[in-house]
Amino acid sequence: MNENKPDEMPEDGEDFAQLFERSYQEPARLQAGQMVEAVVVKIAAGWVFLDVGRKGEGYLDRKELVDAGGNLTVKEGDKVRAYFLPSKGHEMHFTTRIGTGPVGLSQLAQAHRSGVPVEGTVAKEVKGGFEVMISGSVRAFCPFSQTGLRREDDRAAFIGKSFTFKITECRDRNVVLSRKAILEAERHEKARALKESLREGMRVKGTVTSIRNFGAFLDLGGLEGLVPVSELAWSRVEKVEDKLSVGQEVEVVVKRLDWENDRVSLSLRDALPDPWEGAPRRWPVGSYHFGKVSRLAPFGAFVTLGEGVDGLIHVSKIVAGRRISHPREVLKEGQTVEVRVEAVDPAAKKLSLSLASLSRAAEEEAAALKTYQEQASASGEGLGTLGEIMEGPQDPEQD
Give the confidence band of 216 by pLDDT, cuts at 50, 70, 90: very high
Give the pLDDT score at 159.
92
Give me the amino acid identity at 182.
Answer: I
Task: Kindly tell me the burial class for residue 207, based on how many C-beta atoms sit within 10 Å of its own C-beta (0-12, 13-18, 19 or more).
Answer: middle
Mean pLDDT, to the nearest integer, of 86-99? 73
Give pLDDT, residue 395.
52
* Beta strand ranges found along the chain (DSSP E): 35-43, 47-51, 58-61, 79-85, 93-95, 118-126, 129-134, 138-143, 162-171, 174-178, 203-212, 215-219, 224-228, 249-258, 263-267, 288-297, 300-306, 309-314, 336-345, 350-355
User: Does position 23 have pLDDT exceeding 60, yes or no?
Assistant: no
Q: Is residue 21 part of a domain?
A: no
Of 50, 68, 95, the residue that ends a domain is 95
Higher-confidence residue of 19 and 313: namely 313
Report yes or no on 304 lying in a domain: yes
Range list of β-strands (E), 32-117: 35-43, 47-51, 58-61, 79-85, 93-95
Which of 183, 207, 240 terminates a domain? The answer is: 183
Question: Contacts by 151-158 with C-beta closer than 8 Å and gap 24+?
Answer: 152/246, 155/125, 155/130, 156/125, 158/122, 158/130
Same domain, residue pair 304 and 256: no
Per-residue confidence (pLDDT) for residue 6, from 0 to 100: 42
> What is the percentage of the chain residues whose pLDDT exceeds 90?
23
Residue 8 — pLDDT band, cuts 50, 70, 90? very low
Residues 355 and 310 in one domain: yes
More confidently predicted of 256 and 222: 256
Average pLDDT, the chain: 80
Residues 295, 331: contact at Cβ < 8 Å?
no
Same domain, 283 and 354: yes
Say whether both 260 and 219 belong to one domain.
Answer: yes
Q: With 70 as the cut, is the pLDDT of residue 389 above it?
A: no
The model's pLDDT over 318-351, given as tens digits with 9 standing for 90+, comes to 887 778 889 998 899 989 998 889 999 988 888 9
Count of domains for the chain? 4
The CATH number that applies at residue 229 is 2.40.50.140
Do 281 and 225 sit in the same domain of this protein?
no
Task: Flag whether 189 is in a domain.
Answer: no
Q: Do 294 and 337 fall into the same domain?
A: yes
Mean pLDDT across the stretch 10-22?
A: 51
Least confident interval from 191-195, 314-318, 346-350: 191-195
Amino acid at 190: K
**Which of 138-152, 169-183, 255-269 is predicted with the least confidence, judged by mean pLDDT?**
138-152
Kindly report, residue by residue over 280-293, the tens digit of the pLDDT. Answer: 888 899 899 999 99
Q: Tell me the HSE value of 123 on the side-chain side, using a 13 A CA sphere.
A: 14
Q: Which of 21-25, 77-81, 93-97 has the lowest mean pLDDT?
A: 21-25
Q: Could you tell me if 291 and 340 lie in one domain?
A: yes
The closest of 194, 287, 210 to 244, measured between CA atoms, is: 210
Q: Answer whether residue 139 is part of any domain.
A: yes
Tell me whether residue 369 is in a domain.
no
pTM of the model: 0.49
Q: Within a domain: residue 381?
A: no
- Considering the domain architecture, whether residues 286 and 242 belong to the same structural domain is answered as no
Q: Of 46, 70, 95, which one is at a domain's C-terminal end?
A: 95
In a domain, 63, yes or no: yes
Which carries the bigger pLDDT value, residue 176 or residue 387? Answer: 176
- Which has the higher per-residue pLDDT, 269 or 397? 269
H-state helical runs in the chain: 16-23, 105-114, 179-197, 279-282, 356-379, 386-391
Domain carrying residue 49:
31-95
Same domain flag for 57 and 121: no
CA Rg value for the chain: 37
- Supply the pLDDT for residue 138: 85
The predicted pLDDT at position 303 comes to 92
Would you call 25 exposed, middle or buried from its count of C-beta atoms within 10 A (0-12, 13-18, 19+)? exposed
Residue 367 neighbours by CB under 8 Å, 6+ apart: none
Looking at the fold, whether 161 and 203 belong to one and the same domain comes out as no
Q: Is 368 left (phi over 0), alpha (psi -120 to 50) or beta?
A: alpha
Whether the per-residue pLDDT at 317 is higher than 70: the answer is yes
* pLDDT (0 to 100) of residue 1: 42
Shared domain check, 291 and 245: no
Residue 341 inside a domain? The answer is yes
Distance CA 399, CA 394 (A): 9
Query: Can you tell me the mean pLDDT for 222-235?
Result: 87
Say yes or no to pLDDT of 274 above 80: yes
The stretch 178-188 carries a mean pLDDT of 85
Mean pLDDT of 182-201: 83
**345: closest CA among 285, 255, 394?**
285
